[in-house]
Amino acid sequence: MRPAGLGGGDGRVALTNSPAEQPEAAALPPGHPPLTSLLCVPLGNGGGVTGVVAVANREGGYSEEQLGVLLGVAPVISEAFDRRRAEEDLRANELHAAAQRERNRLARDLHDSVTQALFAATMKSEALTLASSLPPETEDTVEEVRRLTRGALAQMRTLLLELRGDPLEKVPLRQLLRHLVEATESRTSTDVKLTIRGQVSPPPELHTPVYRIVQEALNNIVRHAAADGAWIVLELEDAVVRLEMGDDGVGFDADGVDAGCFGLRSMRERAVEAGGTLRVVAAPGRGTRVLAEWRVRPPEEP
């Protein structure tokens, strides 16, 4: 750790037996005892100053010879610090890699077992809904099973995406949003309509913020809105990406609610970090709308 303002931090050697006469070499952090003498050299390996090594308050002061000794040991100290940092970075990378391997293993196991079972159940329920010989009293039950299995399969696909840690930029945004909608409809009776306008997809760097904002807004609809219907509209027009979400639920007082409630702050932060804006329009008994917008570079002509 480099004391703020201490000599050596700017890459220069400091040797003084009269610190009071050189305040720039002996600026100290609060609470540090007064200096009567100071010897300080920088630590680094050619890539800039990474720290300093200093000794102070020797009776009789310091000499050029002692400065030479400190300059001689400074590279050894610097190398030891660099090695320690490299070892810590390596351990952190190994832990991250091990965690990701375990997540990938879980994702494979879930895909090979649960996902395949859900897919088979979905196909069977789809086939049953097309059968003309079903007793009328079972049609509603079969339709409910079909809806639940499709939603569970969509939720599992979303979970696998999160587990694998694959960059969302690599996944088509239409696919991401469709999975979110299907997963949401399996958890609630709310009908969610997804509309994507424009032939050109939004830039890959917007996939993550759009996905996370829609995910948070849909979670709010499930938990709080008590809505019959909801909608998502995503469009790219005139180099502007617009996202609108809304529902016909109970709404809330947008002016009176804390920004941290309902994930409003996190949604706004995600939009702003990606260079956009986001606002929420809501009122008690009148539903909720989330409006986000990003300006992007116009798509190149083919």
Least confident of 6-15, 27-36, 111-120: 6-15
Q: Rounded to the nearest 5°, which phi and psi values hold at 249?
A: -85, -155
Distance between CA atoms of 202 and 296, rounded to whole angstroms?
8
Give the model confidence (pLDDT) of 176-194 as tens digits: 898 889 888 877 888 999 9
Residue 153: exposure state from Cβ atoms within 10 A (0-12, 13-18, ≥19)? buried
Residue 217 predicted with pLDDT over 60: yes
Look at 288 and 168; give whichever has higher pLDDT: 288
Range list of H helices, the chain: 64-110, 116-130, 136-164, 173-187, 207-220, 264-273
- Work out the percent of the chain whose per-residue pLDDT is above 90: 22
Q: Average pLDDT, whole number, for the chain?
A: 82
Give the model confidence (pLDDT) of 49-95 as tens digits: 888 888 888 888 888 998 889 888 888 888 888 889 889 999 988 88
Residue 45 predicted with pLDDT over 50: yes
The pLDDT value recorded for residue 21 is 65
Q: From residue 144, give the alpha-carbon distance in Å to each of 126, 134, 152, 186, 191.
A: 11, 14, 12, 9, 14
pTM: predicted TM-score of the whole model, two decimal places: 0.60
CB contact burial 7-21 (16+ within 10 A = b; e otherwise): bbbeeebbbbbebee
Q: Walk me through the domains of the chain, giving residue ranges and CATH numbers.
A: 14-96 (3.30.450.40), 187-302 (3.30.565.10)
Residue 273 predicted with pLDDT over 80: yes
